[in-house]
Structure 1
């Protein structure tokens, strides 16, 4: 039953992504019973598998140990090389004093990379590493330490060229920190910002057209969304909701915006629109009235921006 539910949860998230109802994300809350200290007590592959099996059908197929190492051979001569047969590692990514887990597994013949975060009352799975629009592949990651923080260094390769030879090319790597609910580009010197208003507008087109507007002003947030079926333009669904943000929620948003140093971000991301992607327009106004405007053509400008979009949706939805 848990495996079926996990598969249904994954498929539901994929449908929402394709329809443009939510930003690109592979983060989910695990469905099995939370056991305090379970990650801290892990010492063997078998205990890792016991933890992850109930997460869903993909996790049931996960392989660890020597059999998983083969999936990461492209990195054997790099700093990402897997030494020995252990393919899971503990770290406190979310800085709550509880150990989390980085898992380099194999599913079928490909890398299966994810983190399991111990949130103190539930397990949260983070898989938001591969950017589906750009079709990156062969992901890998390792735990690194900077300024007394546990960070994630991630790497992958460019996707296959249609009709081209099967080879790995254009490797990229980046250092990521867990901030406000997700992994974003590490910033060693974030600057505290004061934000007056944030306006998020997005549009996507697939089997239906979706327009979304989220406005944060002071301690209030307004969420508006309209769906129009492309096969019948008379079928329109509209949602509108306004409420107050809790102090902790507003602080979470300010923390992320400050960490991103939003005023230094580019004004435009993406040079052309990719099918089934979400076009985002973002405006951030500080206390002095200065505005930062960002046009993110495919909604995947940076890891930090994607996490900002996810957070705004989480805060704004009824």
Structure 2
């Protein structure tokens, strides 16, 4: 059940937790740990930890993590940068979230976070991990922009040797870290359709349809409203096909344009048609984009974290359920 809760929260709000009226003048390991723990329930046990301090314990995952960290000379608890060029110091944190489901054999507690600093002492915490496992970050420069290079084990490749490491370059855009793309392609978006399926817990099940005039219909099936605890208590009634309702609205221009800008930047037409996160209890989603006079792009995503850009897009679509005035 912890794994379900992690995936659901990760898609929704972990990536953009906001804490206002706090200063990010952090000068020690203890200050940083305490700040993260107080700011987010998800990281209430977060501990800064050097990559080399993660004991291999005989499995391939930890061995790969240490090998990547050593090769990149990532040997500190945290690093400072300015990912959005706003003149304020951002923090890249490396550590252990102590949030692993101990009943599973796969380790899942290596964690990389970024604390983004904004004016008026506003701070947001971004989770850099894309699912479970070891995602080793390195600060780099690309076209006069500070970016993150992420190195991780290829999904489905368990060997500690050979060509089992992949690399992503992330840029801070649209209030999140997404895949860097130097050649965005503009499309005429005609319709966006997004639906999710259930999991072994209380993952939200719903579908959204948005046309080019921003008209939208929200089909709420189950677990879209209420807290985790409330939904757990109502689980039996949800599975008796008691739908939560159908709602309509016109998506605000600001939210709609943000989604369109992200789709344009990420070159959605070139994405894989199917993505798999190797988690047996994950939810899944289907994204269908109709564009350029009737062309269609369908992306099926088991795990709902197919890539960094897709994860951000899903987050924006999930948030529409709560940040619009539905009738």
Q: What is the DSSP-based 3-state SS (H/G/I as helix, E as strand, rest coil) of the residue aligned with 1:307?
A: helix
1:61-72 equivalence runs, <5 A: 61-63=46-48, 70-71=53-54
Quote the Cα distance in structure 2 between the aligned partners of 1:159 and 1:294. 18
Counterpart CA distance in 2 for 1:16 and 1:242 is 29
Report how many aligned residue pairs link the two structures: 288
Tell me the alpha carbon deviations over residues 167-211 of structure 1, each in whole angstroms, 9 at most, x when there is no partner: 577232211122323222211111233322211122124256863
Once the two structures are superposed, residues 121-145 of structure 1 have per-residue CA deviations (whole angstroms, 9 ceiling, x without a partner) of 532111141414xxxx233201111
SS at match of 2:244: strand
Query: Do the aligned partners of 1:278 and 1:299 also contact (CA within 8 Å) in 2?
Result: yes
- Structure-2 separation of matches of 1:294 and 1:76: 33
Task: Tell me what 2:283 maps to.
Answer: 278
Go from structure 1 to structure 2 and tell me whether the alpha carbon gap of 1:243 and 1:113 turns closer, same or farther (over 3 Å shift).
same
Q: Match of 2:68?
A: 75
Aligned with residue 253 of structure 1, among 243, 253, 259 = 259
- 1:185-242 C-alpha deviation (Å, 9 max, x unpaired): 2111112333222111221242568631112222233322112877454362414333
Residues 192 and 288 of structure 2 are in contact (CA less than 8 Å); yes or no, is this contact kept in structure 1?
yes
Matches within 5 A, 1:302-313: 302-313=307-318
The match for 1:289 is 294
Mean alpha-carbon deviation: is it higher for 202-211 or for 139-148? 202-211
Q: Does 1:120 align with 2:119?
A: yes
Offset of 1:309 from its aligned partner? 1.2
Distance in 2 between residues matched to 1:316 and 1:56, nearest whole Å? 22
Matched, 1:262 2:268: yes
Query: How far is 1:158 from its partner?
Result: 5.9
Give 1:223's aligned residue: 218
Q: What's the secondary structure of 2:318's corresponding residue?
A: helix
Distance change in 2, residues 1:186/1:275 (3 Å): same
Measure how far apart 1:97 and its partner are: 4.5
Q: Counterpart in 2 of 1:105?
A: 95
- Corresponding residue of 1:181: 175
Q: SS at 1:187's partner residue?
A: coil
- Structure 1 residues 14 and 115 mapped into 2: Cα distance closer, same or farther (>3 Å)? farther
Distance in 1 (CA, whole Å) between partners of 2:88 and 2:267 is 28
SS in 2 for 1:234: coil
- What is the rounded CA distance, in whole Å, between the counterparts of 1:297 and 1:45 in structure 2? 37
**Matches of 1:209 and 1:46, distance apart in 2:** 34
Structure 1: gaps of 5 or more residues: 1-10
- Say if 1:172 and 1:59 are closer, same or farther in 2 by CA, change over 3 A: farther
Question: How much has 1:25 moved relative to structure 2?
Answer: 6.6
User: Within 1, Cα distance between the matches of 2:95 and 2:235?
Assistant: 40
* Pair 1:171 & 2:170 matched: no
- Once the two structures are TM-superposed, the CA of residue 256 in structure 1 deviates from its matched residue by 0.6
* Alpha-carbon distance, 1:261 to partner: 0.7
Give the direction of change, closer, same or farther, for the CA distance of 1:237–1:74 in structure 2 (3 Å limit). same
**TM-fit CA distance, 1:27:** 2.0
Matched residue, 2:148:
152
Aligned mates of 1:77, 1:55 — CA distance in 2 = 30
Deviations 1:142-176 (A, max 9, x none): 11111121111112236899xx99x5772322111
Q: CA RMSD in A?
A: 3.7
Whether the 8 Å CA contact 1:174–1:185 is kept in 2: the answer is yes
**Structure 2 residues not aligned, in runs of 5+:** 55-64, 99-106, 224-233
Q: Deviations over 1:23-70 (max 9, x none)?
A: 477425245x533xx44x555545534643422574555236xx6653
User: How big is each residue's C-alpha offset from its partner over 1:66-123, in whole Å with a ceiling of 9 and x where there is no partner?
Assistant: x6653364335412x225xx43222233454433211123567964321111243532
